[in-house]
Every structure is written in C-alpha cells, then in structure tokens.
Structure 1
Amino acid sequence: MTMTTRLGGALAAMTLAASLMTTVGIGIVAVPAFASAPVADADGCTGPASDVRLFVTITNVRAAKGLVAVTLYADDRHKFLAHHGSLYVGRVPAVAPTTRMCIYVPADGVYALAVYHDEDANRKFNRTTIGLPAEGYGFSNNPSTFLGMPSFTSVRMVVPHSGAQTSVRLKYP
C-alpha cells in the first residue's frame, strides 16, 4: 500500500467523521422526543406503532455491550442525515455477532437507515480526539463509505409490506 493510498483512506475517514458529527442519524444531535422511549415495545418493535414492521439484521457487531441504534429516514434526500431529519431512532441491546431488531415504519414505501453500535450506551456516536469514528456504523444497502458519506440514492430501500427484512453490516474504525 502506498503512502498516497493510506493518506487518501485517512482523508476519506476524516470526511466521513466530519459528516457524521453533524447528523441526526448517527445520534449526536437532538431527535424527536419519542426517540427516547423504551428500547422496544411489548411486541418487540421500536418506534411509533404502525401496521408495518421492518425486521433489521445488523451483522458484524463486535461486542455484546451497549446498544445498536437504527435511525429511520423518509424518502427525502434533503432530510437524510440532516439536523432533525429522521423519523426516529430505535435502539436495542447489542448482541454479538448479530443483532436483530424490529422497527415500525409509517407505511409501505421507500426509506433509508443509518445504524451505529453505541458500545457505551451514551446515545451518542463517539469519535476519537481527531474526529474519526470510534464506534461501528453502517447504512441500508451497505454502500461503500471509503470516500465519505454514501449518497442518498445508494441507501434508499423499498419496504414493500409489513414483515420485510433487510441487513446492515457494521464497519468499525
């Protein structure tokens, strides 16, 4: 690996971290009040109850400690990773190596997910002193984040019916 390749990767990681620092989806700014609700309801789903459930499998969870947070976004590129742009953040206890959770979505349609492993359960996406990610993260459709944040188009996913399933693979720094 050349020095240029290593520097390019470091710059990409710093760009990603800077983007994450300003997002709702990674849980570092205020989210709607109901996002602080209990981790899951009696039916095992998070979020405001609806008739449509989405089952999310989060893989590559490195430790069974803390929480896994899943942020749900509507099909609006202007709200994706924007301040107050998410519909809500659902959280469940982390289970390694795979965490499974159920989230309510308002209706069938197109959505996007941003996920992070909140290992210390502080409900924030932690960063190193130089701003790089310190916790695992991922997005719906598992797009590349090598050169920065994924495009909205790359993370859009269709939820065609209640009971649909998707998988997100976490990446750790």
Structure 2
Amino acid sequence: MRLPLLALLLATAFAALTQRAQAQDAGCTGPASQTRLFVNVSNVRNGNGLIAVTLYADDKSKFLAKRGSLYVGRVPANAGTTRACIHLPKPGVYALAVYHDEDADRKLKRKGIGLPAEGYGFSNNARTMFSLPAFRAVRFNAPRTNMETNVRLKYP
C-alpha cells in the first residue's frame, strides 16, 4: 500500500516541476535549452511593434553578417523598458544586436546611407559613433543560466 502512495507522490512532484519549468520558459524565445538569458532593453521610445534581439556566436566573421546570427528572438515592445528572455545554446560567450521594430515588419529600416532608421543597441552598450562597434566591444560571457544583461537603445 505504501509503494503506490510513494509513486503517486513522486509523479505529482515531477508534474509540478515540469509545469514550473514550462511556465518559466513560456516567455523565452529561440530553440529551447537549459540556458536562458534575460535582456533588459531600456530607452524604448514607445510600445509599438517588437523588440528584436539577435544572438550571435563568439565568431567575429559572423557578427552582423547576413545569415550570421544564431537566431532572432522577438517580443512585444513596451515603452520605457522591455524585458526579453532568450535561450542560449549553452553557457558561453555571445554577442547581441537589438533593434526596435516599430512597424513589426521584421526588418531593420535603414536611411539612405545605410544607417539604422529605428532604435538599436548592442550588448555591453557598445558605442557606435560613426561606425559599427568592434566585435570585442560587444562580446559578453554567460557562464550560467538566468543571467541578465542590459541594452540601451539609441534612436536616429
């Protein structure tokens, strides 16, 4: 009689843990993994459209290159600060590029000379005075799950 009760208790506990893990991951974007990164995007001008968080591997040659990203996670924009959760393939070194896709067309609008026409930012809040930031300036280490990073958007 005790064995079935123990099995029932273990099954109930496992179900509760599974539901909790699924609830935590429900708001995360990207291919599911055990490693999550929370990205706090500040200076969001308005709540229109999406915040796009592009994840890059630790590879200078792929940073900002066409088809060079691991993936792009998108969350609804919130004026002020938008919090996004993205899955990382595993703990390690990565880079982020973020933009405010105000019209939700899933494309970064550019001005005539190629500069962004929508709000944008990079991991480590790397500077972008007259050019793109150096790759070494955007690299960050995520040695474990549930880390947080901050990106402040700049608007043209």
Q: TM-score range by the shorter chain?
A: 0.7 to 0.9
Deviates more, 1:42-51 or 1:99-108: 42-51
Structure 2 length as normaliser, TM-score?
0.82
Larger Rg: 2
Provide, for residues 116-170 of structure 1, a one-character-per-residue CA deviation record: whole Å limited to 9, x for no partner.
Answer: 0000000000123443321000000001100200011000000011000000000
Q: Which runs of 5+ in 2 are unaligned?
A: 1-23
- TM-score, with normalisation over the residues of structure 1? 0.74
Structure with the larger strand share: 2
1:95 aligns with 2:40: no
1:148-159 correspondence runs (5 A): 148-159=131-142
**Correspondence 1:66-81 to 2 at 5 A:** 66-81=49-64
Is the partner of 2:137 in helix, strand or coil?
A: helix
Question: Which letter does structure 2 place at the counterpart of 1:87?
Answer: L
Q: Which structure dedicates a bigger proportion of its chain to helix?
A: 2
* Number of residues of Structure 1 aligned to a counterpart in Structure 2: 133
Q: CA RMSD in A?
A: 1.3
Aligned to 2:45: 62
List structure 1 segments (4+ residues) > 6 angstroms apart after TM superposition. none
State the identity as a percent: 65
User: Aligned runs of 1:22-171 on 2, under 5 Å?
Assistant: 43-171=26-154
Q: Which amino acid aligns with 2:74?
A: R
Give unpaired runs (5+ residues) of structure 1: 1-40
